Structure 1
Amino acid sequence: MIFKVFYQETSTETPVREKTRSLYIEANDEVEVRQNLKTEPFHIEHIDALSEKHLAYEERQPDFKLWKK
């Protein structure tokens, strides 16, 4: 399953909507997503599991790329 993760680049600052970034990661569930990203220096705001239609839409975007460690 593909998840879309919304995050702030730093965990030390207050989250600001305009600075929210996103990445796409393949995992079995949200727990696995968090485990895979726990060493990253950013603050996770929200994780969405993408439906087939939503994934098809996201894949058409020029900045779509699956996150790899």
Structure 2
Amino acid sequence: MIFKVLYQELASEVPVRENTHALYIEASNERDVRFKLKDRTINIEFIQPLEGEHLVYEQQSEDFKLETL
């Protein structure tokens, strides 16, 4: 399954919409996503599973790049 992770660059940053970044990662569940990203010093705001029409929509974005970890 593919997940969209919304995050701030620094773990100490307060979440601000204008500074929020997104990355896409393939994992079996949300726990697996957090495990794969544990070495990064980011502040994870939200992890969203993508499927069906929502996944197709996100894949059409020029920012869609699937991370390989």
Instruction: Compute the TM-score of the two structures, normalised by the length of structure 1.
Output: 0.94
Between the two proteins, the alignment pairs up a number of residues equal to 69
| Aligned-pair identity (%) | 52
C-alpha separation in 2, matches of 1:39 and 1:17 = 23
Whether the 8 Å CA contact 2:25–2:33 is kept in 1: the answer is: yes
After TM superposition, what 4+ stretches of structure 1 lie above 6 angstroms from structure 2?
none
Q: Structure 2 unaligned segments of length 5 or more: list them.
A: none
Using structure 2 for the length normalisation, give the TM-score.
Answer: 0.94
Q: Which structure 1 residue ranges, 5 or more long, are not aligned?
A: none
5 Å-filtered alignment, 1:1-69, equals 1-69=1-69
Structure with a larger share of its residues in strand: 2
